[in-house]
Homo-oligomer: A and B are copies of this chain.
Amino acid sequence: MLSYKMIIAVIGNSSFSPEETKLAETVGELLAQRGATVICGGLGGVMEAVCRGAKSKGGLTVGILPGQDSSMANPWVDIPVVTGIGEARNVAVVKSAQAVIAIGGSYGTLSEIAYALKSNIPVIGLNTWSFSRNGRKDDSIIRVQSALEAVDKAISVAKRRKNDEITSRSLS
């Protein structure tokens, strides 16, 4: 009965890298083909590539922007959410998704991975950060090797989460 869509966050660097751009674009295409809405930080680099890929297959894209207006949104963002809260918007990018796909990434991406894991939102990683605490490796990120594998995994874990949410909304 609920109308809302499966939402997958795609996070990564805003600066250009040919390899990551290709991966992100393919991820966007595949997510759109599976009917998932793409959410991201709305800027350039990986964020732009995933939106462009999704739009090329008729998908819907949401950009959670850090700035005070939508002027920095990449041209493939359908719904620019202008938060005005700077990098604190990273929390909203991941919390709005049922699963997160991380592609490469800089420190902003690392903060998003940390927020997602803290909120028990599954993170699928493509050539992204790995980390350990006090010498003990953290294995929370689900590592994959291709765009296809990333999307398959994301959709599969998101479906499980979405079912849980619908149950909790029906009961509350």
Contact = CB atoms under 8 A, between A and B. Distances in A.
A118 B129 contact: no
A79 B134 contact: no
Interface in A47-98: 55, 60, 62, 64, 68-71, 73, 75-92, 95-96
Chain A: interface size category: 35 or more
A146 interface: no
Contact of A83 (B79, B91, B117, B118): B91
Given A71-B169, A73-B169, A110-B110, 11 more contacts: A4-B73, A71-B168, A83-B95, A86-B86, A87-B118, A107-B114, A107-B117, A111-B111, A111-B118, A129-B131, A131-B131
